[in-house]
Structure 1
Amino acid sequence: DGHSPPGLGRLGQAHHAAAGPAGQAAGGLSAMAIQTAPADGRLGDPHDPDDARMSLMEHLTELRNRVVKCVIAVAAGALLGFVFYQTIFDFLIEPYQQLCSTFDDGQSVSGCRLLATDPLEGFSVRLKVSTYGGIALAMPVLLWQIWRFVEPGLYAKEKRYAIPFVLSALALFVLGAGIAYWTLPKALVFLTEIGGDNLATAYSPSKYFQLITYMMLAFGVGFEFPIILVFLQLVGVLKPEQLAKVRRFAIVGIAVLVAVATPSADPISMLALMVPMVIFYEVSIIVARVLLRRRKAAEAVAT
C-alpha cells in the first residue's frame, strides 16, 4: 500500500494494514520470526540440543517413562523365564553336571542334582532364575531405552560414536559371560579337589546360582575394559602415550583387580579373565590412536 515498512513479509503487511501501529509491531515480530527461522525450514527439533533444552520436569517425566518401559520389559522377560524355567535351569546346571562326571562314586550326570535344604528354596530359586532370565531377555530393550534417553543430549559427532560403543559393549559383555560359563566347570573341579577326598560335594541351589551369576557378571563387566579405555582416550582424559608408558604397572593392577573380582578365586578363572584384559589394554591403545588420527585428519580437511 506504499506505507508498509520495508523488509516485512506478507504476514507483517497484513498486520500493518489491519491494525496500524499495532499491526506494525505484530508484523515486525512476525518478520523477526520468519527471518530467524533456519534456512532449511526447520522450526526446531526437540531432540537436537542446539534447538531446544528440556526443563527439569520434562527430564523427570522422560526418565519416568523410560523406567516404566524398562520395568515392563523386565516383567515380561521374567514371565517368559518363569514359563521356561526348566530350560534355563538345565542350561545353568550344566557346569555342575560336568563336575559330577568327574566323580568316582558311579554317580551319573542325570542323577547329579543340587541339594535344597529349605522347603522354600525351590520357589525362591525359580523366582531368581526367572528374574535373571528376564533381565537377560530384556537387555536389548533396556539398552534401547537408555539410548533414547541420552540421545537428545548428544551432538551428531557424539552420536556417531555412541551406536558402535553400545553394540561393542553388548557384544563384549556377552562374550565375557560366555567365557565365564565355559571356565566354570574347570573352576568347580579345582575347588572340589583342593578340599581333599574327605569332603562330599553337594551344592545348594542358592549358593550355586549365586556363584555362576557373579562369575558371568564379573567376566561381562571385565570385558567392558577396552570400551572404557577407548572412551577415556577419545574425550582426552587419557592419552595413548600415557597408557603405553605405564603398561607394566597396568598389568600388575589388572592382576590385582582380577584376583579381587573373580568370585571363585581359582587360577583358571583368573587367567581366563586376566589374559583378555591385558590384550584389551593393548588393543584399546591401537584403536584410540587410529580414531584420534582420523579425527585430526577430518578436522584438518574441515579447516
Structure 2
Amino acid sequence: MTRADERRSDVPKAVVKVRKPRKKRPPKTPDGRMAVLDHLRELRRRIIWAMVFIAVGAVVGWVLYLHTLDFLKQPYCDVPAKYRVVSAAKGAPPCPLIYHGVLDGFTARLKVSVISGMIFTAPFWLYQIWAFITPGLKKNERRYTISFIAASTVLFAAGMSLAYIVLSKGLQVLLEQSGYGTQAQLTINDYLSFVTLMLVVFGAAFELPLLVVMANMAGVLSAKVLKKSQRIAIFLIFLFAAVATPSTDPFTMCAMAIPMVILFEAAVLFAVIHDRRKARRKAVERADPHLEDDAPSVVDPIPQRLPIAPSDSWSDTT
C-alpha cells in the first residue's frame, strides 16, 4: 500500500445515519377489523392518551382547587349556622371543614384535583373511547352512538345539577336530626366523599330513560311490555331512590325519584311512537316487497318444461 493510500485511510469517513422508518398503525380492513394483538395495542394507546389528558386536567384542577372547594362547600355553608360549628377566630372561614391526619389535607386536594381533571377533560378521553369503538360500527350505528353519547352527557349533567341544588336541604334535614344543642363539625374527607357520591348517584340515575330507549330500539323491550309494567317500574324507581341516595332522607329521595319517573314516562312515550313507526314500516314492506342488493333470489331447483306450441299454429306463423 502506498503512502497516498495510507493518507486516504487516515481521513475519517463521514458517518451516514440511516433514518429508521416510523412504525405505521396496523392496517385495517374496509369493515374495520384488525388482529387481536393489533386491537390490544390500539387499546393500550387509547388508554395512555386518556390517562395523559386526565393527568393534564388534574394539574389544572390542582391549581383551581380553592375555587372548586368553595363551590363544593357552598351547600354546607347554606345550612343554618345553628346546625354547624362556626369559627369565632378572626379571619376564619364561616363554615370550616376540619381534618385530623397529617396527610388528610393532601389526599383531599389530590382527590378533588383528579375528579376535576376528569370533568375538565371529559370530551378528550371520551373521544379516545369513541375512536376505539367506532371502527367496528356500521354507519347508522355510528350516528345513533353519537346521539346516545350526547344525550347521556346532558342527562348526567342534569342529574348532577339537581343533586347540587337539593344538597343543602338534604344536609339540613340530616344535621337537624341530632336534636337541639348539638352542632356538626364535618371532616373534609367525609364531606367530599358524601358530596361526590351524591353527584355521581344522581347523574347515573338520570341515565335510566336512555337505557330504556336503547333497549326498545334494540327490540329487547317493546312499548306494550313497558306500558304493562309502568306501576311496578314506578315502585322500583322509588325503592331505588330510597336505597341509592346517601342521605336517605325523604326530601332527597323524592327529589331523585320524581324526575326519574317523569323521564321514564317520556321514554315509554318514545317507545310507543317508535313501535308504531316500526309497525307501519313493516306493513309497507309487506305490501311492496323488494329484494335488497345482498339478498339471495329464490330459484326453483327443478326447472319446468316450456310449453310447446301446436303444430298448426307453428305452420301458420312460419
Over the matched positions of the two proteins, sequence identity in percent amounts to 35
Compared CA separation, residues 161 and 292, structure 1 to 2 (3 A): farther
Partner residue of 2:38 out of 27, 44, 58: 58
Whole-angstrom CA distance in 1 between matches of 2:273 and 2:70: 44
Task: Please point out which of 249, 252, 257 is paired with 2:240.
Answer: 257
* 1:205-244 correspondence runs (5 A): 205-244=188-227
Q: In the TM superposition, what whole-angstrom CA distance separates every residue of 1:210-242 from its partner, at most 9, and x where no partner exists?
A: 000000000000000011000011111111110
Counterpart in 2 of 1:185? 168
* Stretch moving more, 177-186 or 108-117: 108-117
Do the aligned partners of 1:47 and 1:152 also contact (CA within 8 Å) in 2? no
CA deviation map 1:270-291 (0-9, x unaligned): 1111001111111111122333
Deviations 1:176-216 (CA, angstroms, capped at 9, x unpaired): 00100110000010001111124221000000000000000
Deviations 1:79-100 (A, max 9, x none): 0000111111110010011114
Structure with a larger share of its residues in helix:
1
Q: Which residue of 1 aligns with 2:79?
A: 99
2:137 paired with 1:137: no
Q: Find the aligned partners of 2:85 and 2:103 in 1 and give their Cα distance.
A: 30
- Identify the residue that residue 271 of structure 1 maps to in structure 2: 254
TM superposition shift of 1:105:
8.1
Secondary structure of the residue aligned to 1:283 is helix
Amino acid at match of 2:242: A
Which runs of 5 or more residues in structure 1 are unaligned? 1-44
Aligned residue among 184, 204, 216 for 1:201: 184
Shift of 1:251: 1.0
Q: Distance in 2 between matches of 1:284 and 1:118?
A: 48
Indicate yes or no: 2:142 matched with 1:162: no
Q: Is the 8 A contact 1:85 1:129 kept in 2?
A: yes
Counterpart CA distance in 1 for 2:29 and 2:124 is: 20
Matched residue of 2:100: which SS? coil
Contact 1:74 1:135 in 2 (8 A): yes
Please give the TM-score of this superposition, normalised by the length of structure 2: 0.75
Matched ranges for 1:8-27 at <5 A: none
C-alpha contact (below 8 Å) 1:47/1:151 kept by paired residues: no
Q: Greater Rg, structure 1 or structure 2?
A: 2
8 Å CA contact retained: 1:48, 1:155: no
Contact 2:98 / 2:187 at 8 angstroms: preserved in 1?
yes
Task: Report deviation, 1:46.
Answer: 3.5
RMSD: 2.3
